[in-house]
């Protein structure tokens, strides 16, 4: 346990050092980072969720639909944002899915852990949506092999959680099977992306 605490403290110190290098004298980020969650299906890489950590600590996500150029569907555009003043909202068809939630600011003082988004992902869905991922557009990419995804809908899920260093996402309270996980720890709060199976098959 002591070793784990030491590792968590070391990770937090390293993250703070990186954050200082990325900030100016006012404490604002000087650069933004584009992050991708993408599914690898054979030779093809399909974009599943786009994440952006903005220069002023705001965090955004977009779920590409593949219908952005279709006049009947272009307003679908499911996305969300966690602004530097703590406002959090999720939108689709230009409407807020939930009322704007007042939350803590997504900056270096962030405490606890919070689920920003959970989205089911079945093995056929990335190709069905058909949004190609261009690696040159992103700072980092979490690749999900299509072969580990369930063919059943709503059995494998992607979860995006925002947390202080050292905290794990809540997910399904331990009832899930974690298949893949990636922590984007370039700044505080950390962004943890988890691919998990739930419910877990008894076979």
Q: How far apart, in whole angstroms, are the C-alpha atoms of residue 187 and residue 14?
A: 10
Q: How far apart, in whole angstroms, are the C-alpha atoms of residue 4 and residue 198?
A: 27
pLDDT at 195 over 60: yes
pLDDT at 21 over 60: no
The model's confidence at residue 72, banded by pLDDT at 50, 70 and 90, is: confident
Q: How far apart, in whole angstroms, are the C-alpha atoms of residue 138 and residue 155?
A: 28
Q: How far apart, in whole angstroms, are the C-alpha atoms of residue 167 and residue 145?
A: 26
Q: For the sheet containing 177-184, what is the strand order?
A: 113-120, 156-163, 190-197, 177-184
The model's confidence at residue 4, banded by pLDDT at 50, 70 and 90, is: very low
pLDDT at 115 over 90: yes
Residue 202: what pLDDT? 61
Record the pTM. Answer: 0.82
Residue 8: what pLDDT? 52
Residue-averaged pLDDT of the chain: 86
Q: How far apart, in whole angstroms, are the C-alpha atoms of residue 115 and residue 168?
A: 11
Q: What is the mean pLDDT of residues 39-62?
A: 95
Q: Running DSSP on this structure, what letter comes out for residue 10? A: H
Percent of the chain whose pLDDT exceeds 70: 84
In the chain, where the domains are located: 2-197
The dihedrals phi and psi of 174, each to the nearest 5 degrees, come to: 95, -5
The dihedrals phi and psi of 127, each to the nearest 5 degrees, come to: -70, -35
Selected residue with higher pLDDT from 197 and 4: 197
């Amino acid at each position: 346990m002591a070793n784990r605490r030491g590792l968590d403290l070391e990770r937090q110190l390293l993250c703070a050092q990186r954050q200082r290098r990325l900030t100016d004298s006012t404490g604002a980020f000087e650069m933004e980072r584009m992050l991708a969650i993408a599914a690898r299906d054979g030779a093809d890489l399909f974009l599943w969720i786009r994440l952006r950590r903005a220069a002023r600590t705001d965090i955004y996500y977009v779920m590409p639909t593949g219908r952005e150029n279709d006049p009947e569907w272009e307003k679908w555009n499911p996305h969300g944002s966690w602004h530097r003043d703590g406002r959090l909202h999720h939108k689709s068809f230009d409407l807020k899915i939930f009322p704007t939630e007042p939350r803590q600011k997504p900056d270096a003082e962030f405490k606890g852990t919070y689920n920003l988004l959970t989205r089911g992902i079945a093995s056929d869905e990335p190709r069905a949506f058909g949004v190609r991922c261009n690696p040159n557009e992103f700072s980092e990419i979490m690749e999900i092999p299509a072969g580990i995804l369930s063919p059943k809908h709503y059995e494998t899920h992607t979860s995006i959680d925002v947390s202080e260093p050292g905290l794990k996402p809540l997910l399904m309270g331990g009832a899930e099977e974690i298949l893949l996980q990636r922590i984007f720890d370039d700044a505080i709060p950390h962004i943890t992306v988890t691919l998990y199976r739930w419910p877990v098959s008894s076979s």
